[in-house]
Copies of this chain bind each other. A is one copy, B any other.
Amino acid sequence: MTSAIVLGGSRGIGKAISNALKSIEIDVFAASKKDIDTSNMESIKKFLENYNQIDVLILNTGGPVPKQFFDITEDDWKLYHNQLFLGFCTILQNIKINDGGYIFLISSNVIKEPNPKLIISSAYRAAFNEVFKILSKDYAQKNISCINIAPGPINTDRTKELIENVKEYEKSLPMKRLGEPEEIGNFVKSIIENEIKYLSGVTINFDGANSNYIF
């Protein structure tokens, strides 16, 4: 039976992925912040003592509170360096992905079109994407696919916190609505279910035609 760990699996996009994977008989561990706090290196190491091998890994974590550049403290940088970058590196250094497995990274479209309110997120998610791209070539040798999904505006609690007037905002979007977490969940599910392996080393915008950059 295929096994999966979904980080940040108790809410939002992580929860939707967990549910979608469960629907195809995958043995899912939807890890919540209680199980592993990716901003805390001790918590990560402890988690890795118990979970060190898996078929499918979903690297997913919430983003920081919005802060303008000049208000960000050294402690802020270091905290989110852990949460958005170093924690994921440590996990990949210490967990065995089984041959033929999958690693999905849930990042954000801000890595391509950075957002001043989300400057921390833009920076560290971009950093981790570089690592992920490089590793995709190594993992390819074991038939492990590495897929970065870069969501735009998705209907999560997070978005509701960031956007003041969601109804107004939706009208400005090409599809006149936020994306649903379930769309991402089903997308992840369908890739695994159909054993699509050659999709790897790729960053996939998932934003309802909202981004403006050509690729």
Contact = CB atoms under 8 A, between A and B. Distances in A.
Interface of A: 41, 69-70, 72, 74, 77-78, 81, 85-86, 89-90, 92-93, 111-116, 119, 122-124, 126-131, 133-141, 143, 145-146, 152, 154, 174-176, 179-180, 183-184, 186-187, 189-191, 193-215
Given A127-B126, A214-B130, A180 B198 contact: yes
A199 B139 CA distance: 25
Nearest to A86: B77
Contacts of A204: 199, 202, 204
A206 B214 contact: no
Contacts of A200: 174-175, 207-209
B174 A203 contact: no
A66 to B, nearest CB: 12
A136 to B, nearest CB: 4
Contacts of A85: 77, 123, 127
Contacts of A183: 196-199
A20 to B, nearest CB: 9
B86 A111 contact: no
A214 B175 contact: no
A208 B213 contact: no
A130 B130 CA distance: 13
A140 B175 contact: yes
Contacts of A191: 187, 190
B141 A176 contact: yes
Given A137-B174, A140-B175, 16 more contacts: A69-B134, A70-B93, A81-B81, A114-B134, A123-B127, A126-B126, A126-B127, A126-B214, A133-B214, A175-B198, A187-B199, A201-B208, A201-B210, A202-B207, A203-B214, A203-B215
Contacts of A205: 201-202
A2 to B, nearest CB: 16
A7 to B, nearest CB: 19
